[in-house]
Amino acid sequence: MKKRLPAPERKKVILQAALNTFAEQGYHGAIMETIARRANVTKPILYRHFPSKLELLKALIRETGDQLRQALRGSEGETSGLNWEERIKRDVDAYLSFVSSNEMGFRLIYTSDVNVNQEVVKLIDDIREGYIEDVAKVITSYTDTSKFTEDQIKVVAVMLVGLVEYSVRRWLEKKDRPLEEYRDNMIWAIKCILARLPARSSA
């Protein structure tokens, strides 16, 4: 007799099957029957977890977004005591490491056409805004905000998130240069930008 998976484990299997199917067939080409078969569940069980293909898509977007955000935040032990240059290297490496190990999830959100409705567009925008807020907090922790305001920092954070996201998207689409070369140039560009900001006093 086949052992039943606990509901959380079954949900993970379904999400992985959906991700593989969306990656191969596109969102519009994917059908729930295929996802159920690949997840080795019946359609009623699939619909019990996710009432529609759209809900599956949104769940995958949320999961990928949350995982990337957590990778960038890191643990206290990973990020405490780093100077701003070390933090840049750590965060760029964390981003690229996540993309390398979760390429299909990243592609689903950022390099495929999943703008199926305004709800999905807003979800992706909200995820990106979360990254921008986190980056702004990191910049603030190293910056003299009496000389460079939080509004100005937010603009810089928008620029940096766009720089990294587009660079990674281009590499995934073209793979014209080694990823390490993109990494080194992203770190150099970010350092050039942040070096112009007034440093927070260490006193």
Give tens-digit pLDDT for 129-175: 999 999 999 999 999 999 999 999 999 999 999 999 999 999 998 89
State the DSSP H helix or E strand holding residue 117, giving kind and residue range, or none if neither: none
In this structure, is residue 57 part of a structural domain?
no
In this structure, is residue 200 part of a structural domain?
no
Q: What is the pLDDT of residues 54-106, one digit of tens each?
A: 999 999 999 999 999 999 988 778 888 999 999 999 999 999 999 999 999 99
pLDDT at 113: 67
Domain region containing 106: 64-194
pTM of the model: 0.88
- Contacts for 68 with CB less than 8 Å, ≥ 6 apart: 95, 98, 102, 106, 131
199 DSSP β-pair partners: 143
With contact defined as beta carbons under 8 Å apart, do 173 and 111 qualify? yes
Number of folded domains that form the chain:
2
The answer to whether residues 180 and 123 belong to one domain is yes
The answer to whether residues 77 and 125 belong to one domain is yes
